[in-house]
Amino acid sequence: MKRFMQYLLICALALATANVAFAAKKKSAADLATEAAAAALKCDLAAIKKAWIDKHPTLTKANVALTELNKHVQTWEVTEFGYDPALGEAAKDEGLELFKNAETKFAAYMDKIASQQSRACAVCRVKKKYELAVAGGVADVTEAELLAPELEFVFANLSNLAGLKKTNESQKNATTDQKKKDDLDKAFRPIERQIDDAMTTLTDYRASNPSSPAIGAEITKMKCS
């Protein structure tokens, strides 16, 4: 009888353990969707870029070769580029132009490839430009605008100019001397014109390109690293 009771106790414990394990497994399955959604909002651009380069080692070799070539071309004699010194000089300049900043161009290309691996990475790619746009007073900026070659420097300029405007306003608020205020206003006018010019460039771009949703709400959800 005693052994039978022990047997029943063991069976009960086993059943309880199985139920707990099943419940845990069921909970993990339920969390799968949540984890997938969270993962879709994350992007580690550096890790993705490294993985892509590791997958294609010839790219690294090409980058190293181009970088080394850029260094060596500068040391070559003009006469090595042609019998005519004038033609040789032109050919050397062409080579320097062709191979300069090879490493920087390669890194920019890898960043572009990495950013295309997921929607999160595509959004993270423009996050820094977005922050400049917001600092410059363009909170409704779109992804297309952040990537537009025509607007490449507009948002950085607006951000810098906004900082200068804030400094000017602080200086005006710090003095009660009307002449100083007038001098500050006069000094700020060229900056104000630059702000107007930058905003005109953005307005013209928007007038000639299809509108799209602002990217701010999507960027704030992303975790970029």
pLDDT in tens, 196-208: 999 999 999 999 9
Q: Look at the block and give the residue holding tokens 């630059």.
A: 194
Give me the pLDDT at residue 8, please. Answer: 47
Q: Tell me 118's DSSP state.
A: -
For the whole model, what pTM was predicted? 0.69
The structure tokens listed for 79 are: 């006469």
Q: Which long-range contacts (CB under 8 A, 24 or more apart) does 45-48 make?
A: 45/111, 45/114, 45/115, 45/121, 45/124, 45/125, 45/224, 45/225, 46/225, 48/114, 48/117, 48/121
Contact 202, 138 (CB under 8 A): yes
Strand partners, 223: 42
Q: Could you give the 3-state DSSP secondary structure of residue 21?
A: helix
CB-based burial, 146-166: b 16+ in 10 Å, e otherwise: beeeebeebbbbbbbbbeebe
| Residues lower than pLDDT 50 in the chain | 4, 8
Give me the pLDDT at residue 148, please. Answer: 95
Q: Look at the block and give the residue holding tokens 């959604």.
A: 37
Q: pLDDT, tens digit, for every residue of 91-140?
A: 888 888 877 777 778 888 888 888 888 999 999 999 999 999 999 999 99
